Amino acid sequence: MAHSSSPRSFIPMKIAILTVSDTRTFEDDKSGQVLVDRLTAAGHTLADRAIVKDDVDAIQAQAKVWIATKDVDVIITTGGTGFTGRDVTPEAMEPLFEKKMDGFSWLFHKVSFETIGTSTVQSRATGGVANATYIFCIPGSSGACKDAWDGILSHQLDYRHMPCNFVEIMPRLDEHLKRAKLQGK
């Protein structure tokens, strides 16, 4: 079983939280606050936090700002992953991915099943990488945020987690971009 007891030192990640909702404000955004509380308690840095409407252009606009800066290592979105007409987070984010992280969705559903059973099929949680920035899109319930953080992200965003984690491969996420630049592309 994987564990976090290693001689490595903790490396804080710079994490941005994006709540996708037509109705939430910072005052009543419980899901976004759950993520903020958990990431800061773990020792990470809240790089930024925003709330945008369930609109592809609005979601992409905010994500593109964060993807373009070195001040954000990870983007976590909450909300907009269901099946209603307004749920468009995967449609907004997946076109930005250079690489999709199929394992994140699979593992999220496994963790979520333990909490909510078959209702987990109502989520289109997704993850990927864009411009050396990790992106995770999770449902808008505070329970789903807890499941995603506690069951997956707290481990994978911790450099001490063994046998491997997302932090240790960060320096190599943009190798293909560097290679293309060297080749004049």
Write the DSSP string, 120-171. GGG---EEEEETTEEEEEE-SSHHHHHHHIIIIIHHHT-TT-BS--HHHHGG
Cα-trace Rg, the chain: 16
pLDDT of residue 174: 81
126-172 pLDDT per residue, tens = 999 999 999 999 999 999 999 999 999 999 999 999 999 999 999 88
Please tell me the CATH superfamily of domain 14-182, with its number.
Answer: MoaB/Mog-like domain (3.40.980.10)
Write the CB contacts of 77 (distance below 8 Å, at least 6 apart in sequence). Answer: 17, 18, 19, 20, 59, 63, 89, 93, 135, 136, 137, 138
Q: What is the pLDDT averaged over residues 5-16?
A: 88
- Strand-pairing partners, residue 15, are 46, 74
Does residue 49 contact residue 81 with C-beta atoms inside 8 Å?
no
Instruction: Tell the residue number behind the tokens 């990640």, with chain if given.
Output: 13
pLDDT at 7: 81
Spell out the domain ranges in the chain.
Answer: 14-182
Residue with tokens 């979105």: 77
What number is the average pLDDT over the span 66-70? 95
